[in-house]
């Protein structure tokens, strides 16, 4: 019995340890603003994260499940209508009314297009939930390059600690690559934090609402349980102590 308890405890500890991804890679230790029961997205982070996506990652990674209009969500990046329009117009999407192959600037109701890129970069719409470690995995990938690279059959591979070996994406961003207008430090850690937050929002735009609903239902359950307990005591009081109620 003791051994069973010990192994269950060990398994629980391992499962909650932030250091090891499900596979072979090592994840960084980092607290996100949206962690925990009361955590919420930070609009500044989401807007800066979007800026990195557009200026760097979008060259290779699409987001085909994310419509431009959601960039205006109040619990999301919260861009204004004019900003969302301007952002969409920076992207080209297939023109249904033109000849095959024609494109037109995107409108807010369109979805982020998938760029043509070599090496099969995964779509980013759900990436923050598709990998063990979630947003922490993306954060750790951005900070996980060792600088080692090798050539295999004509293709270059790059070593990354979070990936747990070599893979096909060269380090996409270095410090000071993206200029922040709000004075936030342009460090790689900050970029990784903001981009991971943005991709977490892209993958789960309703997280804040879901957490609020969770907190509400737990509060309700506690209140309800307390009421039941008092009612129960009152109802049974006469039965248990009839002498007090004679």
Nearer to ligand HEC, 48 or 61 (CB): 61
Residue 28 to residue 15: CA distance in whole angstroms: 15
For 207, list phi and psi in degrees, rounded to 5: -60, -45
We find the least distance from the C-beta atom of residue 88 to ligand HEC, in angstroms, to be: 20
Phi-psi region of 112 (alpha: psi -120 to 50; beta: other; left: phi over 0): beta
We find the least distance from the C-beta atom of residue 127 to ligand HEC, in angstroms, to be: 6
Record the tokens describing residue 135, joined without a space: 């947003």
Nearer to ligand HEC, 104 or 204 (CB): 204
Query: What residues does 104 pair with on adjacent strands?
Result: 93
We find the least distance from the C-beta atom of residue 6 to ligand HEC, in angstroms, to be: 33
Residues at the site binding ligand HEC, with contacts judged by CB under 6 A? 52, 56-57, 59-61, 117, 119-122, 127, 131, 138, 141-142, 167-169, 172-173, 195
We find the least distance from the C-beta atom of residue 69 to ligand HEC, in angstroms, to be: 23
Secondary structure E strands in the chain: 92-94, 103-105, 145-152, 155-160, 165-167
Nearer to ligand HEC, 36 or 41 (CB): 41
For 167, list phi and psi in degrees, rounded to 5: -145, 180
Nearer to ligand HEC, 106 or 203 (CB): 203
């Amino acid at each position: 019995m003791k051994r069973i308890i010990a192994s269950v405890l060990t398994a629980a500890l391992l499962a909650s340890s932030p250091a090891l991804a499900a596979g072979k890679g090592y994840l960084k230790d980092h607290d996100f603003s949206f962690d925990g029961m009361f955590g919420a997205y930070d609009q500044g982070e989401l807007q800066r994260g979007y800026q990195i996506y557009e200026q760097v990652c979008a060259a290779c990674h699409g987001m085909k499940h994310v419509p431009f209009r959601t960039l205006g969500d109040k619990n999301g990046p919260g861009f204004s209508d004019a900003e969302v329009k301007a952002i969409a117009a920076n992207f080209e999407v297939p023109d249904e009314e033109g000849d095959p192959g024609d494109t037109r600037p995107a409108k807010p109701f369109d979805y982020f297009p998938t760029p043509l890129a070599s090496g099969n970069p995964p779509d980013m719409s759900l990436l923050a939930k598709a990998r063990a470690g979630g947003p922490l995995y993306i954060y750790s990938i951005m900070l996980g390059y060792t600088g080692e690279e090798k050539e295999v059959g004509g293709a270059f591979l790059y070593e990354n600690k979070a990936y747990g070996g070599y893979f096909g994406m060269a380090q996409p961003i270095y410090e000071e690559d993206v200029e922040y207008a709000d004075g936030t430090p342009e460090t790689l850690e900050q970029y990784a934090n903001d981009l991971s937050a943005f991709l977490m929002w892209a993958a789960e735009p309703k997280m804040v609402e879901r957490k609020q609903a969770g907190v509400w239902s737990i509060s309700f359950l506690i209140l309800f349980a307390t009421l039941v307990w008092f009612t129960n005591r009152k109802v049974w009081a006469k039965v248990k102590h009839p002498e007090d109620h004679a």
